[in-house]
Structure 1
């Protein structure tokens, strides 16, 4: 045993995601932070969606929903594969 115990290295995909400048620190906080972080992130997401509706009107309502369609298709495919 050494005088300093180093933590285990992270997997490559995790290091890659955490290295992205704006998204990385949020992802790290979600992975390693408090349990309440998920609620704050969901509240921020809905607040940003509400601000886009106020700013852009109906397109601000529809465009995020249309952007989520490929994610839902992927989720349905993963569910159907078992």
Structure 2
């Protein structure tokens, strides 16, 4: 038997990828399987449904309020043409 050096070149990980749960999902979306984004969306939808079942309309309103800057930035990027 011959010894083979194991040198797998993994992509470099940024500081964002070292955050425990969010970073792992972001790393898998960037470098993993193409289906990972769908798994992440199902997880987010499930968390949203559970939050609405637990706290009611308040969870839905706070989620909409948290999405305002994201939508605002998206509209600005569309207007600029990027």
Bucket of the pairwise TM-score, normalised by the shorter protein? 0.7 to 0.9
Q: Structure 1: any 5+ residue segments left out of the alignment?
A: none
Change (3 A) 1:57 1:9: closer
Root-mean-square deviation over aligned CA pairs: 2.0
Moved over 6 A (4+): 3-6
Between Structure 1 and Structure 2, the one with more helix by share is 1
Q: What number of residue pairs does the alignment pair up?
A: 77
User: Aligned partners of 1:46 and 1:73: how far apart in 2?
Assistant: 21
Higher relative contact order (CA 8 A, sep 6+): 2
Q: Structure 2: any 5+ residue segments left out of the alignment?
A: none
Please give the TM-score of this superposition, normalised by the length of structure 1: 0.79
Please give the TM-score of this superposition, normalised by the length of structure 2: 0.79
User: Aligned partners of 1:4 and 1:52: how far apart in 2?
Assistant: 45
